[in-house]
Amino acid sequence: MGNIWNIKGRYKAVMAYDIRGQRALFGGGAEPGKSATIDSVEISSAGDATDFGDLSVARSHLGASGNNVRTMFEGGEDASALSNVVDYVTPSSLGNASDFGNLQTASLGPLGHCSTHTRAIKGGGRSPAPAALDEIDYMQIATTGNAVDFGDLTVARFYPAGLASPTRGVFAGGQTPTRKNEIDYITIASTGDATDFGNLTSTASGTGAASSATRGLWAGGNDPSIRTTIDTVFIATTGNATDFGDLAAAKDFTGGTSNATRGIWAGGLDPSIINVIEQRDIGTSAIATDFGDLSVARSAPGTCSTGHGGLDYDVLHRPSVNYMPGSGRSFSMVGGGGAETYMYVNHITTAGNAIDFGTLTTGGEGTSGTGTSTKAVFNAGYNSGYIDTMEELQFASQGNSADFGNLTDARGSIGTVGNQTRGAWGGGIGPAKVDTIDYVTLATVGNASDFGDLTVARYSLAGGMNSTTRGVWAQGNETPALSDVIDYITIATTGDASDFGDTVAGSQRGRGCGSTIRGIYAGFETPTKVNTIEYITIASTGNGTDFGDMTAAKVDQAPASTKTRAIFSGGQTPSNLATIDYITIASTGDAADFGDLPNAENNADGTSDSHGGL
């Protein structure tokens, strides 16, 4: 597979399916007795399933979700009662399941399951019979523990079928016991109630779901007659499903999953219990064909794969006991007024309070940084004088920072951009404003080198807006005027920055972050403190556009982001703040409360293991 941290090599590995998962697991089901069997197949190669291991508790009508590191089996019905059990396996290693935690409610038929690399979601269920549930649970896949509340479906129901893109979870059909045709969706990285998406082509319960990153399929089920129908939607839009072909034979309670291109459906009722596995391409309307057989005939298994549509392979996730690179960990590096040395950590995908992570070797205000999917690199800023020190810390290991090297000159209030390979520090003051851009190769400790110059010398500018190829800076202080300049570089080259456009008004002390597509800068002075959030589209050029408002007018927050969510921690109103705000990057609108820092802080900066440059 080669060096998978090398962008070009990693892209080749993904496209060759060396990284993109192929293993599907089928756990439990009804034989008609409750089954503990876990079977596996490789989706890229048709053939019969082989024994993988056993569930911790035999049960049927369960759900499954996971990523390429963990597969989780959730809820169902054991030999005597409805179950809230969640157990898990490591899909790369044969063996029996271990305890993960518990669902909020013991429930039968929670087939509405989906996941991304970081989060597992369960929607609906029945507990106790015949009461239908509308609750949505979620769990962080990397950390064992009990499910917590996410929100509610639009309609309480059991036997819905769930699927996902890397951004959205979608739930379709089910019954109350009346069969339903509703399709709901959620944004997986957030929390809240589901929203109406559209309707299936007919009412249906017990379908089997499969998806790519863009298209979802629901196959079979009952209305109440057993169906062959396959419905499809494009996950990023909303609207009614359309007919997209058929299974080779009608079946109910079949277990569906997929890799990037192929959907498979295993077991079910025709109305007898069957062991057949069918397959078909996700992107083409067709009749499904034979793939092979399960080791044991059964219906209603929990089914998941290591390559389903919810898994974003733009970021590689590696196994860890408590942490996976690229899973949304962020650092807030606190300045505040001199020699403060705190580092705080958040998990961006889950709202909550930050915790203490360690200390910086050299404390300072006006710090700025970027990172790769495994480490962060910051300059120290100002502490009784301007400092040229850079420090690094590992996202996976709680502890203190270590020396990385030095900038080409001592300065603070810099804006930093970067991707998986390079970090670039632009502008700053030390004590005069400068237009200097320095860069480092992030994988290797050492001193910075000259990259080129900004279009305008300035300090207190917003960086952090990156794609994998481009870095963008906005606003700043040109002394005496505040700047409306937005400029950019191509990170892999060297040379002077180019004009991108203008901010809505001259401003300074904002902080930037974003996705691969959008850059966000928020909370600045014009010269009065404002609560404004603006955005740009990184791949183009043009002026900043209004996004919404922060929860308060403030400056000098610590920003961080995943591909879907941005957070802004602390800041000054002029009082120091502990508040953390968040937004969903692809939308527009006002920020909402995320949680709090352990202490009120300002003059900080932040980065994450999954920002737009990675």
Mean pLDDT of 544-565: 94
Percent of the chain with pLDDT over 70: 92
Token digits of residue 483:
């700047």
At the top level of CATH, the class of 329-608 is mainly beta
Residue position matching structure tokens 């597969």: 71
- What pLDDT is recorded for position 345? 84
pLDDT of residue 318 exceeding 80: no
- What pLDDT is recorded for position 331? 85
Distance CA 384, CA 360 (A): 16
Mean pLDDT of 193-208: 96
pLDDT band at 12 (very low <50, low <70, confident <90, very high): very low
Is the fold of 7-305 the same as that of 329-608?
Answer: yes
pLDDT band at 341 (very low <50, low <70, confident <90, very high): low
Mean pLDDT of 430-459: 95
DSSP, collapsed to helix, strand or coil, labels residue 7 as helix
- What pLDDT is recorded for position 415? 94
pLDDT band at 360 (very low <50, low <70, confident <90, very high): confident
Between 576 and 12, the more confident residue is: 576
Percent of the chain with pLDDT over 90: 70
pLDDT (tens digit per residue) in 472-487: 999 999 999 999 999 9
Cβ-contact 226, 273 below 8 angstroms: no
CB contact burial 419-429 (16+ within 10 A = b; e otherwise): bbbbbbbbbbb
CA torsion, points 545, 549, 550, 552, in degrees to nearest 10? 130
Strands (E), 222-308: 229-234, 242-246, 255-258, 262-269, 273-281, 286-287, 289-293, 302-305
Mean pLDDT of 332-357: 73
CB contact burial 251-267 (16+ within 10 A = b; e otherwise): bbbbbbbbbbebbbbbb
CB contact burial 165-194 (16+ within 10 A = b; e otherwise): bbbbbbbbbbbbeebbbbbbbbbbbbbeeb
pLDDT of residue 317 exceeding 60: no
Lowest mean pLDDT among 15-24, 195-204, 440-449, 478-487: 15-24
Token digits of residue 521:
């800068």
Cβ-contact 553, 531 below 8 angstroms: yes
CATH 2.120.10.80 for domain 7-305: yes
State the average pLDDT for the chain: 89
pLDDT (tens digit per residue) in 266-311: 999 999 999 999 999 998 888 999 999 999 999 999 999 999 999 8
User: Residue 186: what residue type?
Assistant: I
pLDDT of residue 343 exceeding 80: no
pLDDT band at 154 (very low <50, low <70, confident <90, very high): very high
- Find the farthest-apart pair of alpha carbons in the chain and give their distance in angstroms, rounded: 80
Mean pLDDT of 520-538: 95
pLDDT band at 16 (very low <50, low <70, confident <90, very high): very low
CA count, 13 A, side-chain hemisphere, 79: 6
Instruction: Report the alpha-carbon angle 462-464-468, nearest 5.
Output: 140
Our measurement of the distance from residue 40's CA atom to the centroid of its chain's CA atoms, rounded to an integer in Å, reads 26
pLDDT of residue 374 exceeding 80: yes
Mean pLDDT of 147-176: 94
DSSP state of 10: H
Q: Where are the domains of the chain?
A: 7-305, 329-608
Distance CA 418, CA 9 (A): 19
Token digits of residue 140:
């962080």
Cβ-contact 47, 24 below 8 angstroms: no
Distance CA 280, CA 286 (A): 7
Q: What's the order of all strands across the beta sheet hosting 262-269?
A: 255-258, 262-269, 273-281, 289-293
Cβ-contact 358, 420 below 8 angstroms: no
Mean pLDDT of 239-254: 96
Mean pLDDT of 388-408: 85
Cβ-contact 398, 441 below 8 angstroms: no
Task: Report the range out of 281-295, 343-357, 589-603 with the highest average pLDDT.
Answer: 281-295
pLDDT band at 355 (very low <50, low <70, confident <90, very high): confident
